[in-house]
Amino acid sequence: MQANSRPVSSNQQHLHPKLAEVVCRHLRTTHRAELSAHNIQAYERLSLEMKARPRPLVLDSFCGTGHSTAALAERHPGHLIVGVDKSAQRLAKHPHSPHDNYLLLQADCEDIWTLLAGDGLLPDYHYMLYPNPWPKAAHLQRRIHGHPSFPLLLTLGGTLELRSNWQIYVEEFGCAMHLAGHHGRVLRLTDTGPNLSLFEQKYRNSGHDLWSYTASVMP
């Protein structure tokens, strides 16, 4: 993967001035969107797998090519790891892996979160690695913490880890979590171990600082 990625550039240099207003509005309401048939169909694979071999879950939301999903399968051998990404093109680039304790679903995360929460299938760990930053200030509501589905994410609980190469994104996520009553930590990643995902590799090779937010969330 190339090593010439430019750092995130934005017309927003600090936390978004409307962050608290938007997050609190979403926290007061329940996100209800009609589920898409293709997401229900994708979820069916997970549901059948869990009925056949019930195991604790790890969720890798926005998994892209699923390199991270396979790496997490090695890290969590007793779990079923579920990578979710809406892009068939990205998922088609998934390399062969010797691990058989993971599934990749082509679906929208928000619908999969709704279905998991409805069935009480709650992940022990929930990774969100390098989601699209949506750096324009006008796009706050497209960021995970600015989206109406943010409260849904909280109902899933688990040990959450969000990573980004945009410090403001991670700090905003941390503030949104704080507004929801969850306390976590924002850190600059100093770990020089193996890259967890392709975007992590690209950003590291390009010399970007990488940031993470972690918290334990009781559903």
Ligand X SMILES: C[S@@+](CC[C@H](N)C(=O)[O-])C[C@H]1O[C@@H](n2cnc3c(N)ncnc32)[C@H](O)[C@@H]1O
36, 41, 132, 216: which one contacts ligand X (CB under 6 A)? Answer: 132
Q: Could you give the strand order of the β-sheet that contains 185-188, starting from the edge strand earlier in sequence?
A: 102-106, 80-85, 57-61, 125-129, 158-164, 211-217, 185-188
Contacts of 86 (CB under 8 A, 6+ apart): 106, 107, 108, 109
The least CB distance from residue 96 to ligand X, in Å, is: 17
Taking contact as CB under 6 A, which single stretch among the options 21-29, 32-40, 59-67, 96-104 is the one that binds ligand X? Answer: 59-67
Strand locations in the chain (E): 57-61, 80-85, 102-106, 125-129, 158-164, 185-188, 211-217
Taking contact as CB under 6 A, which single stretch among the options 3-11, 21-29, 36-44, 106-114 is the one that binds ligand X? Answer: 106-114
The least CB distance from residue 139 to ligand X, in Å, is: 12
Tell me: does residue 197 bind ligand X (CB under 6 A).
yes
Tell me: does residue 172 bind ligand X (CB under 6 A).
no
Q: Closest CB to ligand X belongs to which residue?
A: 64
Helix (H, G, I), strand (E, B), or coil: what is residue 157? coil
Tell me: does residue 87 bind ligand X (CB under 6 A).
yes
Query: Interaction with ligand X in 60-79: which residues (CB under 6 A)?
Result: 62-64, 68
DSSP classification of residue 173: H
Q: Cα–Cα distance between 81 and 41 in angstroms, integer?
A: 18
By CB under 6 A, name the binding residues for ligand X: 62-64, 68, 84-87, 90, 108-110, 129-132, 197-200
